[in-house]
Every structure is written in structure tokens, then in C-alpha cells.
Amino acid sequence: MAFLADALSRVKPSATIAVTQKARDLKAQGREIISLSVGEPDFDTPENIKLAAIDAIRRGETKYTPVSGIQPLREAIVKKFKRENDLDYKVGQTIVCTGGKQVLYNAFVCTLNAGDEVIIPAPYWVSYPDMVLLVGGKPVFVDCPLENDFKLKAEDLERAITPRTKWVILNSPSNPSGAAYTRDELKAITDVLVRHEHVWVLTDDMYEHLVFGDFQFTTPAQIEPNLIHRTLTMNGVSKAYAMTGWRIGYAAGPEQLMKAMDMVQGQQTSGACSIAQWAAVEALNGPQDYIATARKAFEERRDLVVSMLNQAKYLKCPTPEGAFYVYPSCAEAIGKTTPSGKLIETDEDFVSGLLEQEGVAAVHGSAFGLGPNFRISYATSNALLEDACNKIQRFCANLR
């Protein structure tokens, strides 16, 4: 009898974590590596948030918290949704989790039976399908290619829905592509969903505040109030406030679902870290100046990277609306050979060659369900990005 669960055979390790670890290993061997594989702001957590955490420690806020989060944070979440998204939730319709991943996983554990389908637009964040598979669900992928701006089209969603569909996942701005849905694009999608009352919406809004130019962020329940009773709106403090290591994600949705997620979390991790929760209260309720500063820096970096990658031979890089990723196509590099004599047959071969030849770590697009592309995170300094893009240009120029 096998010791490990059969469910493990259905999933694979996170590709983004694997590439990041490979880059660390090469650094440890003395190689000069520029890692553009991790989705983590390089800015420090704002000082007011750090001070709030220190104050919480000094006040003795170091005990277990309620499973769904401390009352002040849940109240701050309600205010945030009303202030920024015009969504009316009650405290009992919110939950605080140990990062956004736990929000998603809790929701799937609570709702998916064997064979239930979850529609996942591709390219997608690497963890979505594996979470679905772990709990016995069935991911249903809908390709959203470059010619569709990496966005789900209403007619493609309509075709993908079956009687077994339980959720559709929407992620805007997107990891990995940075694509974000306009109000009109989202309205076309919600019009489809209104007609299919058995389908729930899981919207991952983690990059909400990282949109550029005059782009206006919207979320599905805001666009279509008739969907709020079957929408889980997920967000967190990690990307907007440079708080990745604090591990605080949160969500709001129907109270029945929140109670079920609370029950699952109570048997899993219980409440999130008390100190991190008090820091998150300050993030949501305190000054918001940091967001505009970070957004401006990320927009400058986006423009730098897009410009330089589009000057590289064989690459085509669209300009994303948000997040801190670009998702260039390397289709024209397929079939070429690296200076070391390795044939590039896939986007994974491309990023492997780039790492070996030039010491630049990126993530292959097939890990996100759509290639031949690769993902670059520009959440690092302009100097490092310029250096990395010069090396990418050189790598491409030397392909034969």
C-alpha cells in the first residue's frame, strides 16, 4: 500500500518557486544571477505599518485570534470594500487568512466535490489548477492568447460552462500577464454569468492597486450587483503595501460560505498571525500615500522593460495594464540554437538557456498554461532591470 496520498500524483510543485530556488542555488555556487522570477515588491513595508506592528507587540497583542480574524481588521476590510469598490459587506461576510492562497484553498475545500469543474482562463497563476486538483475538482482551461490581450472573452466563457461548472476564476490585473479587464470587458463577462445561476465567481483582486495610466480598476460584484450573492471577492495586503512576508489575505462573500471557510480554517491553521493582522489594520485604515509612489515606480519600470524587450531579436512584448509582470512571446526563437549548441524547442528551453548563458532567471509561459511565452517580474530596481534586459537582448542576438 502506498504511503503518500493519491492526490499528490495530480499536482506538481510551483514553477515560480522552483525557478526562484534554482536561481538561489546558482548564486550560492558563485554565479552572478539576476532573478526576475519572483512576484514580490522590492520596496520595504511602509514605516507606519511597521510601527503599528511594533505597537501591537508592546500592547501584548500576541495571543490567539478568532479564526476569521480580529474585529478591527474585519471592520477595516468592510470599509475598504465600500470605500474603494462600492461593495456593501457586513463583518460576518469577511474572513482573514494566512495569505491569499489560503483564501482560495479554503473556498475550494468548502465547495468542490469530485468532478466539479472550475473554469480557469489561461495564462493563469500557477497555483489555481493544482489547488482545484488537490481537492478532487477538475480545472477547465480557456485559452486567452495574445491576440485577445490575454483576456477571457464572453463567448469563450459561454462555451466553457457546463452543468458541472461550479466556479470561474477571474484575476485582474493578471499574474502572469499583467492584463486587466476594462469595465466594458468585465460587463460582457458578468452578463454571461448572470444567465448561469449555478456558477460562482472567484475574483482574485490582489493587484488591484497596481494599474497604470488612466486605467480604472473594477471588480465583478461592483459591475453586476446581482452576482454578489455568488461571488467571493479576494484581496490582500501583500502586493499593494509591500507586505508579502506578513502573510495576510482576506475576502468577502456570502455569509454561508464564510462560515464554511471559517470551519475549515479552524481545523487547519486557526487565525492568522496576530501581529500581522494589526499591521494590516493600519495598512487599510492608515495613510495611502505609499500606493501612488509604488504605482509610479512600477509604471516606469514597466515602460523600461517593454521598450527594451521589444528591441530584442525574436521577442514580442505587449504593454500590460497592471501588476508588475510582462509576458513576452518567444515564438520566433523556437527552433533556434543557443551558442552552447542547445536547440530551443519550448519556452522552457528558452528560459533555461537564458539562465545558463546570461544568468537571468525568468519563468516559462507553459507553467502558466500558455506559451511560447515567458514571465518577467519587474519588481526590482531600474538598474537591475536594464542590466537584465541588455543580457536578454544579447542572448537573443546570439541565437542561431
Helix (H, G, I), strand (E, B) or coil at 110: helix
Q: For residues 204 and 272, what is the distance between their CA atoms, to the nearest angstrom?
A: 19
Tens place of pLDDT per residue across the chain (400 aa): 889 998 888 887 777 777 778 788 888 888 899 999 888 999 999 999 999 999 999 999 999 999 999 999 999 999 999 999 999 999 999 999 999 999 999 999 999 999 999 999 999 999 999 999 999 999 999 999 999 999 999 999 999 999 999 999 999 999 999 999 999 999 999 999 999 999 999 999 999 999 999 999 999 999 999 999 999 999 999 999 999 999 999 999 999 999 999 999 999 999 999 999 999 999 999 999 999 999 999 999 999 999 999 999 999 999 999 999 999 999 999 999 998 999 999 999 999 999 989 999 999 999 999 999 999 999 999 999 999 999 999 999 999 9
**So what's the pLDDT on residue 126?**
93
This prediction has a pTM of 0.95
Please enumerate, as own/partner, the contacts of 55-64 that have beta carbons within 8 Å and a separation of 24 or more. Answer: 55/278, 56/274, 56/275, 56/278, 56/279, 57/275, 61/274, 61/275, 61/278, 62/274, 62/275, 63/274, 64/270, 64/271, 64/274
| Grid cell locating 149 | 490581450
Q: Which domains does the chain have, with CATH numbers?
A: 6-44+290-397 (3.90.1150.10), 63-285 (3.40.640.10)
Looking at residue 17, what is its pLDDT? 76
- 3-class DSSP state for residue 364? strand
Instruction: Report the pLDDT value the prediction gives residue 86, as an integer from 0 to 100.
Output: 98
Q: Please tell me the predicted confidence (pLDDT) of residue 9.
A: 87
Please give the torsion angle defined by the CA atoms of residues 14, 19, 24 and 27, in that order, rounded to the nearest 10 degrees. 170
**Continuous segment of H or E residues that includes residue 236:** strand 231-236
Q: What is the pLDDT of residue 322?
A: 98
Question: What is d(CA 166, CA 197) in angstroms, rounded to the nearest whole number?
Answer: 10
How many residues comprise the chain? 400
